[in-house]
Amino acid sequence: MTEVKKELTPEEEKLTIRDISIAAEAQTKQGDTFYLITQRYRGGPILPRKVINSGLSQTELAVEVYPLRLQLHLMPKDQCSTIRISKKETIRQLHKKACEIFSLNPELVCIWDYFSHQKHALMNDMDKTLDDANIQMDQDILVEVANGNSAGGVNSFHENGTADNGTVALVKPSQSDISNAEGLSLSKGSSRNGTAELLQSQQLASSGTDKTYGSSGVSTRGSSCGLTGLLNLGNTCFMNSAIQCLVHTPEFARYFREDYYQEINRQNPLGMVGELALAFGDLLRKLWAPGRTPVAPRPFKGKLARFAPQFSGYNQHDSQELLAFLLDGLHEDLNRVKHKPYIKSKDADGRPDEEVADEYWANHIARNDSIIVDVCQGQYKSTLVCPVCNKVSVTFDPFMYLSLPLQSATTRSMTVTIFTCDGSALPVACTVTVPKQGRCRDLIQALSNSCSLKHNEKLLLAEIRGHLIHRFLEDPLISLSSIKDDDHLAAYKIPKLTKNSKFLQLIHRREEREIGISQSNVGWKPYGTPLVSPICCDDIVTRGDIQLIVHRMLSPMLRTENPGFNCVSRCKTAASANSSRLAASSEACIDSSLANDDPRQKDVPSSKLVNLEKLPLQLVDENNACIDLTVGEDKSVKLSSSSMSILVFADWSQKLLENYDTRYIENLPEVTKYGPATKKARIEPLSLYSCLEAFLREEPLVPEDMWYCPTCKERRQASKKLDLWRLPEVLVIHLKRFSYSRSMKHKLETFVNFPIHDFDLTKYVANRNSSRRQLYELYALTNHYGGMGSGHYTAHIKLLDENRWYNFDDSHISPINEEDVKSAAAYVLFYRRVKTDHHHSVSNGTVSSAGQHSILSRK
């Protein structure tokens, strides 16, 4: 604090911090401590701030750095004032401040929260805080003065702005008021402000003249309703874009503009007691009302945050996740079924698909019957096949939308490094092409063909992580989708074992020096790729036997300039009973063709090498203790009976590294390494039909979602096949742009070539009894621009009355050409069925036909 201290008078120097504390305790006025400190350190300017209760429990104390800034508009006088007030102040205190500022009689003054063409009374609960009343920053407050002859005072006001004596309390402003209000609106950059918005709505209702509003960018001349924007309340573009698409769905536009209140289900425990439906319906009516003044969706967001806390606050969220919640919530609020019956689903058991599908759909409708089901829900056929007993299970499930993967190809290139266990060849990286939704058996088969695997050999596939074997991929049904592009795989050539055996895992460690405080310490850290070799357990295994196996595994990497280390060609042999038994068991487990063709090595399998250069090996026994294998070569090794692996550490000193070329085991390539050519291929145009085909393709279930087979009585990783069976009137398609891996999450910027007209799904519907063509036309979509966790959402919507596309960017609306609708930002697509017969014609806002029927009735 001495750094900011200014020169003080001798009297001030005597005032110490202790003196300040004592003086502060003696003061009676709040805030005197602050003034004493400013007297001591000469600070300024003074910006007093309150300490308020915050948090969910309202027990946390926080400084309110930014109090509310409110615009007070005195009507009908030409006066305006801006005040700062804490959100924890009450409406009574706001009312008092307004009267003091404009020198008004409190009994004749009423204050209103004005937005979206409506006034909302603030006088009903004078003790409610501004925070509880949902008053926001830069909000407009109307201050209305009643007729002085009214004896009713404040209570003489009604919500429509009239007094008890019948006079209108809100007088139409003069021309000077209009000029002042328009100037205020322009200065704030939005027509959301109370006075300007009020004047616009009044003039629109009383005048037929042309007007173009800067917030929308659309002229009102000759245009239909439905071109009203939504104000961004702070990172709410995700909500605005989804709402605009639903609002401009023709069936919803008509339903919520009629008397839908009779269908609100307030008894549904899964719903929001009708409040979400009412809030959405109210918002839809405002957006379809005449005028172009943007609407602030604060009441709707308040209801949304109440029933879905994950969308509370002002953080960015996923527009599709909001859409899913909103459709489900509206369905439950408008469910015509008040008491859901319990219905047990039955398996197909060989019955015709048509019979089973109709039964499942009838059961679904018996519990779920709403406008959302009528319009947006379809049905798909799900087929599960057990990989063990081939049990087939067929069910028919409803869907609200389709989430399609962005897969530009049906195949995938994978790189795996192949190692031998007998030292016959150096490690080699092998790249093969496999089905993208294939299984491990497909990868092993492709690798076997590529490396010319012998009939008596097989490949053992393993995932390497942190220079250790993370897992063996022995199950041939493991999905290749569980293997990420940045994983590292190794395949070990081993003989087809016929007897009891275990796998010896050779883990490499390198000497690393860590400089300590007093001295240098030597530490051994894993590096490179582990090697694997089978070892028979029928007979006794000695430490020398393991030395021999490791020497053979490392022999391909032995440098030729160090022949003294050759464990095969330069050694003296001596027979022993133990080695003979080892050789005999080895011949039983390993085909003789694996033996080296060198005539000097023919005797090696039947004898023990006694003059080998001992390698610094340590074996981990069943008690997790390390055994030094450089001494006592004839001592037997006790192998663990509970583990299939034998862990051996090879400690590579600098001297040992000079004798072996270990670069072959140091750099294991990734499964998929993206190069320039691959990146170029990933951004090529992708058809929406290809995405749909990938979604419908048969694939194995993920391990976390395995199926309980009723025949095997066990959970199985069954294969699953989806087929479209019943399509809805409005088909919502979600493009899965956001993907996640172990180390990162990213957004796919793939351009999807989706049809705007004639989206033909006829051949994808498995129900062959359906004779009509399944044609759809795009009428709306949401876009996401930017990266993961940020960016901006907009919506492209076609007004069917005008046959013209518009871009809805929060409060700004502008016309666009149809060719500009397609982009790499497309995220959620909205298609509506094309009427191929003489059904009624539907527009965004109305339904007209000679044979018009009510959507309220169940289909």
- Return the active site residues: 237, 792
Query: Taking a C-beta distance cutoff of 8 angstroms, is the pair 224, 845 a contact?
Result: yes
Bridge partners of residue 372, in order along the sequence = none
Q: How far apart are CA 527 and CA 431, in angstroms?
A: 23
Please report, to the nearest 10 degrees, the dihedral formed by the alpha carbons of residues 420, 424, 426, 427 taken in order: -10
Please give the DSSP secondary-structure letter assigned to residue 616: -
Residue 823's identity, in one-letter code, is S
**At 238, which amino acid appears?**
F
Cα dihedral: 352, 357, 358, 361 (round 10): 160
Task: In whole angstroms, give the CA distance from residue 56 to residue 276.
Answer: 22
- The two structure tokens encoding residue 434: 């496999």
For residues 98, 100, 102, 108, the Cα torsion angle rounded to the nearest 10 degrees is: 70
Residue 591's SS3 state is coil
Long-range contacts of residues 46-52, Cβ cutoff 8 Å, at least 24 apart:
50/86, 50/88, 52/86, 52/87, 52/88
Q: Say if CB 357 and CB 373 are below 8 A apart.
A: no
Rounded-to-integer distance, Cα 354 and Cα 650, Å? 65
- Please give the Cα distance from 353 to 359 (Å, whole number): 10
- Whether 414 contacts 431, CB under 8 Å: yes
Which CA distances in Å does 767 have to 153, 349, 727, 760, 773? 70, 18, 10, 15, 12
Give yes or no for a contact between 786 and 792, defined as CB atoms under 8 angstroms apart: yes
Helical H segments across 153-236, by residue range: 175-188, 194-206
Contact 226, 287 (CB under 8 A): yes
CA dihedral over 593, 597, 603, 609, signed as positive or negative: negative
Q: Is 435:508 a contact under the CB 8 Å cutoff?
A: no
Query: Where does residue 29 rank: exposed (0-12), middle (13-18), buried (19+ CB within 10 A)?
Result: exposed
How crowded is residue 392: how many other Cβ atoms within 10 Å of its Cβ? 14
Token pair in block for residue 21: 């504390």
β-partners of residue 397 are: 380
DSSP line for 651-719? EE-HHHHTTB-THHHH-PPPS----HHHHHHHTS-EEHHHHHHHHHS-EEPPGGG-EEETTTTEEE--E
Pick the closest to residue 325 from 276, 281, 274, 389 (CA basis). 276
Measured between alpha carbons, how far is 353 from 320 in angstroms, rounded to an integer?
32
- Alpha-carbon dihedral of residues 327, 328, 334, 339, nearest 10 degrees? 160
Residue in the structure block whose two tokens are 């409506």: 118
Report the alpha-carbon distance of residue 821 to residue 823 in Å, rounded.
6
Largest CA-CA distance found in the chain, in angstroms, rounded: 126
Assigned token pair, 376: 């947006």
Please give the structure tokens belonging to residue 306.
Answer: 């109440």
Helix (H), strand (E) counts: the chain = 20, 40
Query: Sign of the CA dihedral 51, 53, 55, 60?
Result: positive
In angstroms, rounded to a whole number, what is the distance separating the alpha carbons of residues 697 and 720? 8
